[in-house]
Chain A
Amino acid sequence: MNSAERLVYMANQIATNLATDDDPVSAVANHIQLFWDPRMKRLIQENDKAGLSLVAAAAINRLAETHDAA
């Protein structure tokens, strides 16, 4: 697993474990915002997102929007 693939795996794993949250997309986005370093956040934005689950992909998009807004 290279770094980009590992980040997709990690995002999906977070999404699976937060699936029972009231608002899984926000929960995943918030988790990544709080615990991933900037390069990891950038890498997952820049690389192929095809492997992301629906919730993980939505969370990554949410992060990008928050980042752009900031």
Chain B
Amino acid sequence: MTYQPQKDFGTPASRSDEAVTLTIDGREVTVPAGSSIMRAASEQGTSIPKLCATDNMKSFGSCRLCLVEIDGRKGTPASCTTPVEPGMVVRTQTPHLAKLRKGVMELYISDHPLDCLTCAANGDCELQDQAGAVGLRDVRYDVQASHLGQEKDHSNPYFDFDPSKCIACSRCIRACDEVQGTLALTMEGRGWDSKISAGFASDDFMGSECVSCGACVQACPTATLIEKKVVEVGTPERSVVTTCAYCGVGCTFRAEMRGEQLVRMVPYKDGKANRGHSCVKGRFAWGYAQHQERILKPMIRASIDQPWREVEWEEAFAYTAAELKRISDKYGRHALGGITSSRCTNEETFLVQKLVRAGFGNNNVDTCARVCHSPTGYGLKTTFGTSAGTQDFDSVEDSDVILIIGANPTDGHPVFASRMKRRLRGQDGREGAKLIVIDPRRTDIVRSPHIEAQHHLPLRPGTNVAVLTAMAHVIVSEGLANEAFIRERCDWDEYSHWAEFVSQARNSPENLQPVTLVEADELRAAARLYATGGNGAIYYGLGVTEHSQGSSTVMAIANLAMATGNIGRRGVGVNPLRGQNNVQGACDMGSFPHELSGYRHISDGDARRLFENDWGVSLDPEPGLRIPNMLDAAVDGVFKALYVQGEDILHSDPNTKHVSAGLAAMECVIVHDLFLNETAHYAHIFLPASTFLEKNGTFTNAERRIQPVRKVMTPLNGLEDWEVTQRLAQAMGLDWNYSHPSEIMDEIARLTPTFAGVSFDRLDEEGSLQWPVTADAPDGTPTMHVDGFVRGKGKFVVTDYVPTDEKTGPRFPLLLTTGRILSQYNVGAQTRRTENVAWHKEDLLEIHPVDAEDRGIKSGDWVKLASRAGETTLRATVTDRVAPGVVYTTFHHAVTQANVVTTDYSDWATNCPEYKVTAVQISASNGPTDWQEEYEALSERARRIDAGVPAE
């Protein structure tokens, strides 16, 4: 299609069920009550001139351009602020209105630069369009004063602010307030001096609280706020709707293109996950796709001491297949395995697990979800019957109490956090939802503009189960459980057993306070609020799963939701916030070693036979190795070959020294990635990957929403990733002949009951579908467990608190917990290769003032972070955001490698690593650790290509 911005209806859609019919310009139109006249006109195809109105924020009524005449009413009201009424007769174009509008527009243009031909927004400027629409032909004013000639603010790496072009419509301010919820912008001064300001007059955008989400840029009707890329390249000429490849929110974007060049990513208003909003990563941080460090040719080497040698694809596939066959013949088929990626598409993930099961002949396939949300899979399957969140994101609009545990949505899932914040602030006279945050850190959402958590429970890391059991104690012992719901929907005997357990005195908040460090009164109040405050919704993240009791915590959360009847309708539920874009999909696609797609255990003969008949092979009925088990087996000398697609296990997985020992013990490590990542130091074969812009497929977000990923440019490496896996399979003798990812999805649908109704055609028609998509639910399932749990009766599981074996003591007296930050993503392979480093160029250690003072540490000092597993150095930030005794850092930078410090301890049920609790000591540092120096030398050596030229 040729380029057109998305249609703007001027004001938001009304949610009313009541219909109102009116006449606009002689034509009848019926719209929901509460709609504005502007919206009604727009829906019937009439475009009323406007400047300050846009449909993703409330009407403002300031520009005076959208005036209309209404029969029986005096004057010319603004159509954006006037609601429709039955029988209303409206005229949008009369000589009087034309004169008024022309006069208004003349005033705007009298104080606007007349440089349209050289303006970056030329052809994509609402002011220009509206000047044309009202027929402005000249400006009569000889303006003496103006606001022109002001200095531009270039401080943000992605967009410019040119105050001279501002028409003071306040759309940017309102976008920051209403859409993003940061409230970073304000209008400074009056009259000619009116100026959008990011905080104080002394602040530029970069120095302000702006989080660079892009909402203001999108809202700006002129070139005042404009993407630097548009300034550089020009306006786009076509657009393709696709899905973001960053976090598990799964925002829909329009990739706006000029030829094969991406000009900008603009959030798509019809995207059901993001509803037209974006964050700094998805909106702007896609420069890595063309980064000079991207590897575009396959490479091989006989040993990791050698430099890489570039080869053609044919040679790479033949060599890889020969190596895998050699190892299988020599060590047996169980010596091979593969890791699928939560960053890749469903179709690619499905093919990798198929290659392992059908080609390698074992079930040694795992996915990076092992190290993040595998406890969600175990916990929700056990209690509810399926491994997925229960709601869609829209559900939060109906929540009365939001309980966030072990998640930091404003950093990890920023676009959903904005929606959550909107609900917390309240809107249109509706009181905001109440907020409970259970987190060792005072995360941003605990206190932000117009939001203050009713209860923040700053627990000691590692005591989630104790806190949740104490909450259950309060709910049961104070008679707050929803017994009617439990009797109808759950197994009553199991509930009784659980209720008896949680009611024990040892599980009271008072008794557990010495363990959890949470004030008993505060915990009681939080439990009462969750149980009695109306619709209660729980959102959780890796602060729940990445513990030795990760699975128990997920089940404890499920217990709470069932006990209070907060399951099976809008506004409630249990919602895992998935870290990477396709964690949900990777899990759905059978990436775990014990189960086939759709969460069917590999020992299930019926399920296995379905695949065996379709694939023409026999499958091993025994589960395969999980990632940590693979590394153990490698160190034992029995696991020899690993195909890793789109994951950097050396950087992301715990106890780096153990991971490197495992990788070093293998004879064939195949890394399939965009860059020579850290894992590639130990690789023998490098298969270059394609970006999400270069391939077709689907991602499934945290709300089970299957969304299309569409190819907008030719892969620089020559092949889409599914083609790479297919060519490797063919080289190994497998008869695979997919010509398009849609055929892979057809196979998934054929073999996976919950995907039965999914196809690319359906996805093109609907935009997205939430699984299960079945004969009973042909349009998908926004809310799970509506009439009953997937497993039948909901299962209460007793979750006794078991302290972690990772103990603090005199040598390691502090607890380290790790996390992520807004501007960086996971191991940083993508975001570190973008301008996002302007916000976060290094990992920092947060330490409480008391602990810092004890050690003589100031903000900015280099410190050594040491645990029983290893040590690294980084700089400190002294802050009371963390409690005394707790320190925090991120893991985005390879130079820090926080995972040198994390341990082998893991979740009892799934082996998900205990990233969130490591006993550490902090001390002043006078230089990099031995590990860091050795690692830097290794990196330089390992990245040589041919003549020893470093790849980066």
Identify the A interface with B (CB < 8 A): 1, 3, 6, 10, 13-14, 16-17, 19-21, 31, 34-40
Given contacts A36-B623, A37-B624, contact A17 B552 (CB under 8 A): yes
Q: Which 6 pairs show the lowest CB-CB distances between chains A and B?
A: A20-B798, A13-B908, A17-B908, A3-B632, A38-B622, A37-B625
Does B510 lie at the interface of the complex (its beta carbon under 8 Å from any beta carbon of A)? no
Q: Once the chains bind, are B623 and A39 in contact (CB under 8 Å)?
A: no
Provide the residues of chain A in CB contact with B549, threshold 8 Å. Answer: 17
Chain A residue at smallest Cβ distance from B638 = A39
Which residues of B have CB within 8 Å of A19? Answer: 800
Mark each residue of chain B from 336 to 376: 1 if its CB lies under 8 Å from any CB of chain A, else 0. 00000000000000000000000000011000000000000
Given contacts A19-B800, A20-B798, A34-B603, 11 further A-B contacts (CB under 8 A): A1-B904, A3-B633, A3-B635, A3-B636, A10-B911, A14-B908, A17-B800, A21-B798, A35-B623, A37-B629, A40-B625
Q: How far is the CA of A16 from the CA of B465 in the complex (A)?
A: 14
Q: How far is the CA of A16 from the CA of B804 in the complex (A)?
A: 11
Q: Within 8 Å of chain A (Cβ to Cβ): is B594? A: yes
Q: Cα distance A10–B798 when bound, in Å?
A: 20
Select one of A14, A20, A40 contacting B800, CB under 8 A: A20
B 216-239 to A, binary, CB cutoff 8 A, 1 in contact else 0 = 000000000000000000000000
List, in ascending order, chain A residues with CB within 8 A of B603's CB: 34
> In B183-207, which residues have CB < 8 Å from any A CB?
none
Tell me, in angstroms, the Cα distance from A6 to B877 when the chains sit together.
36
A3-B635, A3-B636, A34-B623 known; A39 and B334 CB under 8 Å?
yes
How far is it, in angstroms, between the C-alpha of A31 and the C-alpha of B710 when the chains are bound?
A: 41
A1, A14, A38: which has the most chain B beta carbons within 10 Å?
A38
Q: For the complex, count residues of B whose C-beta is within 8 A of A.
A: 30
Interface residues of B in 67-86 (CB under 8 A from A): none
A-B contact pairs, 26 of them (CB 8 A): A6-B904, A10-B908, A10-B911, A13-B548, A14-B909, A16-B908, A17-B549, A17-B802, A17-B908, A19-B800, A20-B501, A34-B603, A34-B623, A35-B594, A35-B623, A35-B626, A35-B909, A36-B629, A37-B363, A37-B364, A37-B624, A37-B629, A38-B334, A38-B622, A39-B638, A40-B629
Contacting residues, chain A, for B593 (C-beta < 8 A) = 37
Flag if A39 contacts B633 (CB, 8 Å): yes
**Which of A14, A35, A37 has the most chain B CB atoms inside 10 A of its CB?**
A37
Decide if B569 is an interface residue (CB 8 Å cutoff). Answer: no
**In the bound complex, what is the Cα–Cα distance between A35 and B381 (angstroms)?**
14
Interface of B is mostly: loop
**Residues from chain A with Cβ under 8 Å of B802 in the complex:** 16-17
How close is B661's CB to chain A, nearest CB, in angstroms?
Answer: 12
Please, which residue of chain A has its CB at the minimum distance from the CB of B911? Answer: A10
CB < 8 Å A-B pair total: 55
Known: A13-B908, A14-B908. A6 touches B632 (CB 8 A): yes
A17 to B549, CA, bound (A): 8
Q: Does B881 contact A (CB under 8 A)?
A: no
Q: How far is the CA of A37 from the CA of B549 in the complex (A)?
A: 22
Residue of A nearest to B635 (CB): A3
B272 within 8 A of A: no
Closest to A20 in B: B798
| Distance between B55 CB and nearest chain A CB, rounded to angstroms | 50
Decide if A34 touches B594 in the complex (CB within 8 Å): yes
Known: A34-B603, A37-B364, A39-B633. A17 touches B909 (CB 8 A): yes
Complex CA distance for A38 and B904, rounded to whole angstroms: 22
Assembly CA distance A17 to B911 (angstroms): 13
Taken together as a complex, chains A and B put the C-alpha atoms of A40 and B549 apart, in Å, by: 21
Give Cα A1 to B552, complex, Å: 25
CA distance A47 to B594 in the complex (A): 24
Output the least CB separation between B653 and chain A (Å).
15
Closest partner residue, chain B, to A37 (CB atom): B625
Q: Which residue of A lies closest to B362 (CB)?
A: A37
User: Which residue of the partner chain A has the closest CB to B601?
Assistant: A34
On chain A, the residues within 8 Å of B635 by CB distance are 3
CB distance from A11 to the nearest CB of B (A): 10
Q: Give chain A nearest CB distance to B305 CB in angstroms.
A: 27
- Residues of B near A37 (CB, < 8 A) are 334, 363-364, 593, 622-625, 629
In the assembly, what is the distance between CA of A39 and CA of B636, in Å?
A: 11
Residues of B within 8 A of A13 (CB): 548, 908
